[in-house]
Chain A
Amino acid sequence: MSDGMPGAVASPRAGAWSVGAALVAALALVGRAHDVASLPPLQDFDGPGHALNVVALHAGRLPDPGSWGGFHPPLYYALGALVWDLLPESVPVHVGLRAISLVAGVGLALWIWRALRRRASGEDALLVALLVFCTPVVVLATSMLGNEALCAFLVTGALARTLQPPPPERVLRHATGTGLWLASALLTKSTALAALPACALGYAAWLARRPRSTVAALALVVGLPLVAAAPHYVRLLEASGGNLLAVVSGGALSPAVRAEMRSQPPGERRLSDYVTLPAAAFLAPVYLAPGMTRSVPGLLYASTWADAHEHFLPASDPRVLAAEAALALGGLLPTGLALVGLARALRRPARHRELLASLLLAAGLLLALLRYTWLLPAYSAVKASYLLSAALPAAACLALGLEAVPARRRGWLRGALLALALACTLVTWRGWWEV
């Protein structure tokens, strides 16, 4: 990733790889647009809850914090209400809302490509960004209505700005821009809270020798989002009597959400749930498979490489389940490469200083999610989409891992990753099982 690393050198077949990736990207985009239009109404993750927030804002009132999705910040829903008005009546409202997620998903992939292009070879940057776009967890989040894709796009926009030090004369302007990205993200989903300390650390690392600039930059990067989002979060805390869980879960304020969460298996968490990894995570990657609700890593992995919660793909069809298992097995390759990349980054942190903020964000999100799963021992609390804002660090680690492979063998890996992106696109193409 750093200058002078082998990955930064273009391969002789760079053009061919780029053309292949561009073709798969075009197919993925068409497939995603098809999914956005063809998924039945409100079959999305918490679809009715998200939808009612849009209905409330469209009617000119703020969502009730005690409603199903009322704890979510309003930016996505306000955008949705505007899109509703712009749409012709012939286009269903939920399709317009999903289109926001799709645009955010394309933006997310473009951010990743742009950020990696400066550090890896052009074809690796394109390939990794494409694979992120095609990973089932991203496919699902960017085909459905909900605030996750938009939040991930905005957080990644802020994070990408911390990858390169700003010129000394533009530090404040740069920090203001980052603060505005973060403010938008925090007004979209509370997950963005984890990005505040991460981005602040990114600036502190770049500006360590300039304390005055550091203080000013930190004030902007952290202060702007907090000031912008404070009314929403203060409203939540007031409504919940200061219960911090209300910031991240509807279960604190909505009796219906609480009843649903309590009804879901496993019902209680044990420490062993965090270290067990059943074979079903790879061979039958759905939550009702044996051992899955009792395995946090298993369900996280399965919900990254398959539709583990069965919102999108009918796993009752054996062909669909087999195809999802193939993706879950194929996902072992990029997962392994990303772990190699992570090890490289951690072994030489000074050399990969630009990744500091991204890695910190990923760690923060993961720890927050683990805590959340402990507090809410329900299978729906274990979803990889909650980590979507860590797409950039995951992609950076994958690119680093790819670079660790000797150049003469990298062609095979690129081919395998491209084939995996294509397979993900085809398997998540809604309706193929009905043909």
Chain B
Amino acid sequence: MKRLLAVSALLCSACAQPEADPARVVTTYLRSLGGDPLRAIACVTATFPERTGLRLATSAEVLRWRERVREGAAAPAAPAPPATPPSPEEAQVSWLSVQVKPAFREALGRLRWQVSGERRDDDRHATVTATIEPEAAPPFQQVFQLTRQDGSGPWRIDRVEQIGVGEANLAEAFVTNPTEELRRRLAERLGVPAD
């Protein structure tokens, strides 16, 4: 049975069309965020969500948080980093879960983006730059570093760097690259508890 499962899995991966072009991977990623999160997570490496630092809130934490918001709790002056780093699986679930929020998709709907440059360093490393243009905020750049195993597999986004992000375009920066750091800055700006 294990063999059958492995064969099925191989069949699936053979059927899947690995993205041959780094710019196309970035295009698929940006197009899929929020609306088609499974296609988006397939564009990133397995360790990418871990680096975002996002973690899951338990039901109890969500209920407590709602209570604090109702009571008008102020955001902490200096947001504290999470006590323990998320596990790889928690990071993946978190990265997907953050895209469930309607506000996330609404914010994505208010921006345009354009892939503006691609550079291949070697068979395994490439850099793609995209310009993000929010409707009502300053534009910023997002630099994607992509890798691929053994020089012939599908390209996957491994790291993201953002240039030109400030208070005015924080929400747009978060929805195009959701990380714990940006989430906390956003919570602080919105005046809601970050934890």
| Residues on A facing B (Cβ under 8 Å) | 40-43, 47-49, 51-52, 54-55, 57-62, 64, 66-68, 70, 74, 78, 81-82, 84-85, 89, 92-94, 97, 227-232, 235, 254-256, 259-260, 262-265, 380
Contacts and interface: CB of A to CB of B under 8 A. Distances in A.
B175 to A, nearest CB: 14
A139 B92 CA distance: 28
Nearest to B10: A60
Contact of B12 (A68, A82, A228): A82
Contact of A232 (B1, B89, B100): B1
Label chain A's interface by main secondary structure: helix
B59 interface: yes
A338 B97 CA distance: 39
Contacts of A229: 1
Contact of A66 (B15, B58, B89): B89
Contact of A48 (B11, B15, B97, B102): B97
B13 interface: yes
Contacts of B42: 55, 58-59
A42 B89 contact: no
B59 A42 contact: no
A231 B8 contact: no
22 contacts: A41-B37, A42-B96, A48-B96, A49-B93, A52-B41, A52-B96, A55-B38, A55-B41, A55-B42, A57-B8, A59-B42, A60-B10, A60-B13, A62-B5, A62-B6, A64-B89, A78-B9, A78-B12, A231-B5, A232-B1, A255-B87, A264-B59
B1 A54 contact: no
A283 B58 CA distance: 28
Interface string B41-66: 11000000000000010111100000
Given A51-B96, A78-B8, A256-B89, A94 B102 contact: no
B141 to A, nearest CB: 26
Residue of B8, B16, B87 with most chain A CB atoms under a 10 A cut-off: B8
A64 B92 CA distance: 12
A43 to B, nearest CB: 6
A57 B9 contact: yes
A66 B89 CA distance: 8
Given A42-B96, A231-B5, 10 more contacts: A52-B41, A58-B16, A60-B16, A68-B93, A92-B32, A94-B36, A227-B1, A232-B1, A232-B5, A263-B59
A62 B7 CA distance: 11
B177 interface: no
Contact of A93 (B13, B39, B87, B102): B39
Nearest to A46: B93
